[in-house]
Amino acid sequence: MHAILVTERGGPEVLRLSDVETPRPGPGQVLVRLAATGVNFIDTYHRSGLYEVPLPFTPGSEAAGEVTEVGEGVTELRPGDRVASTNFTGAYAEYALVPAARAVPVPDGVTDEQAAGVLLQGMTAHYLLHNSYPLRPGDTVLVHAAAGGMGLLLTQLATALGGKVIATVSTPEKENLARDAGAVAVLRYADVPAKVRELTGGDGVHAVYDGVGADTFDGSLASLRTRGTLVLYGYASGKVPPFDINRLQGGSWSLTRPTLGHFIATREELTLRARDILDRVAAGTLEVRVGTRYPLAEAAKAHQDLQSRRTTGKLLLIP
């Protein structure tokens, strides 16, 4: 089968299309013929070595497709079932393995592309809004990079929960996307704290959902109201340098750095979040915007486009 193989850490150029042996499922695993694979920032962290994984490896953990073979002991899934997961091993490929316990059914009314495009970011948005800072009706929050795949889902879900979203974007096209997703105000990245204070009568926001990291961190803190919460969930622009924790005393602010794995650790929690997100997609109340589809051989271009922050919506590889 064809797969992207990384044999050295580095830039997008290390993502090379290769011929590899099709894996076989072990006990508790299923083999899935992939129809679509999500491209995520964590894939770039693995590729570059920011998060080290043993070499060689095939990137990718989020995908959707059809079960073709099941391993010993698997009774809940069978060949022909459509599934999605954020726990595939090497999803930049035509086939990939996943533990059966970490695969979720794709309901009727949801395409494979929608499932691959929404599962990881949708469940992330779900725990950010329900757990990291539990959004209450009437809360005003700041969402950075609101026109990306993650930002659009966050904005839609926060609005559905009764929140008021102030969004940051970089272009007029992205501004329109953020407004369509429900943002009540859209800002460029210059002077964000001052503009947020103006929009909130000087108070600041109840929470900031920040997946950008180094470039926005200081402005995110400065945009919070007293006792507000900064939810730092990603490092699109790089890691935040060490800082003096006493800065939080300036507004009795809270800071959290969550990660999805801790919020889908059990099968029960995984299926609860996945079902909520996928059911919203099936019902048409949550839009999955696919920005660009790339052939598997163009994985390097997908990474270049993602890291440029010029993209909108979700990026998918089509094996």
Which of 257, 283, 301 is the last residue before a domain boundary? Answer: 257
Would you say residue 124 lies in a domain? Answer: no
Would you say residue 212 lies in a domain? Answer: yes
Q: Are residues 166 and 198 in the same domain?
A: yes
Q: Are residues 224 and 201 in the same domain?
A: yes
Q: Are residues 300 and 190 in the same domain?
A: no
Would you say residue 123 lies in a domain? Answer: no
Would you say residue 42 lies in a domain? Answer: yes
Which DSSP helix (H) or strand (E) runs through 124? helix 112-127
Would you say residue 129 lies in a domain? Answer: no
Q: Are residues 66 and 169 in the same domain?
A: no
From residue 19, how far is each of 11, 15, 93, 134, 314 by CA, in Å?
Answer: 21, 13, 10, 46, 27
Would you say residue 132 lies in a domain? Answer: no
Tokens of 59: 């990137």
CATH number at residue 114: 3.90.180.10
Q: Are residues 47 and 156 in the same domain?
A: no
Q: Are residues 142 and 253 in the same domain?
A: yes
CATH number at residue 249: 3.40.50.720
Which DSSP helix (H) or strand (E) runs through 16? strand 16-19
Q: Are residues 9 and 112 in the same domain?
A: yes
Q: Are residues 248 and 281 in the same domain?
A: no
Give the pLDDT score at 238.
87
Q: Is there a contact between 144 and 209 (Cβ–Cβ < 8 Å)? A: yes
Q: Are residues 247 and 163 in the same domain?
A: yes
Please state the domain count of the chain: 2
Q: Which amino acid, one-letter code, is at 38?
A: G
Give the domain extent around 142.
137-257
Tens of pLDDT, residue by residue, the chain (319 residues) = 999 999 999 999 999 999 999 999 999 999 999 999 999 989 999 999 988 999 999 999 999 999 999 999 999 999 999 999 999 999 999 999 999 999 999 999 999 999 999 999 999 999 999 999 999 999 999 999 999 889 999 999 999 999 999 999 999 989 999 999 999 999 999 999 999 999 999 999 999 999 999 999 999 999 999 999 999 999 888 899 999 999 999 999 999 999 999 999 999 999 999 999 999 999 999 999 898 999 999 999 999 999 887 777 799 999 9
Q: What angle do CA 170, 9, 59 make, to 5 degrees?
A: 75
Closest CA to 298 of 35, 40, 15, 7: 15
Would you say residue 125 lies in a domain? Answer: no
Query: Read out DSSP for 31-56?
Result: EEEEEEEEE-HHHHHHHHTSS--PSS
Q: Are residues 113 and 95 in the same domain?
A: yes
Would you say residue 54 lies in a domain? Answer: yes
Which of 257, 286, 309 is the last residue before a domain boundary? Answer: 257
3-class DSSP assignment, residue 207 = strand
Which of 211, 236, 257 is the last residue before a domain boundary? Answer: 257
Closest CA to 59 of 100, 18, 106, 28: 18
Q: Are residues 253 and 268 in the same domain?
A: no
CA-based torsion, 12, 46, 313, 311: positive or negative = negative
pLDDT in tens, 172-206: 989 999 999 999 999 999 999 999 999 999 999 99
Cα 168 → chain centroid:
17
